[in-house]
Structure 1
Amino acid sequence: MNIITDIFQFMNEKAEAFFEWAQANPKFGQLIVFVLLAVWLTGLLRRWKWRVTGSLAPSCGFSTT
């Protein structure tokens, strides 16, 4: 059980360090968000399977299979 706690603490420390870095460097954070949105929009335009999930798929005429 100790190893699970160590992994959890390590992940928390890394996440905390990342968010501190993102606050100190907002332009890079904006760049990351822009890239994620661009990938998502590309997925919508190219009709990738993961782009629309949940209850939107049937109502928009997209099939998820």
Structure 2
Amino acid sequence: IRDELARIVGERAATDPHLHHLDGLDLYGAADHAELPLPDDLHPDPAAHRRIAERFAGHAFGLGGPFAPQEQ
């Protein structure tokens, strides 16, 4: 389902510059689970939340991100 969603967003983003997709595995993946496992196998603990938030902020607001400050 992740691949199909990325494909669809990729197609539609070609005509909609405001459509973006960020795969959740880029925020918290298998390596993260090995280091910061989900205590109840579903919800992140505070350390995992921090990691996810920092990565999201980097993707969303970092250079080239959809919410990054635009040059004027």
What's the TM-score bracket when you normalise by the shorter of the two chains?
0.3 to 0.5
TM-score by length of 2: 0.31
TM-score by length of 1: 0.34
Greater share of helix: 1
Give the number of the structure whose alpha-carbon radius of gyration is greater.
1
Higher relative contact order (CA 8 A, sep 6+): 2
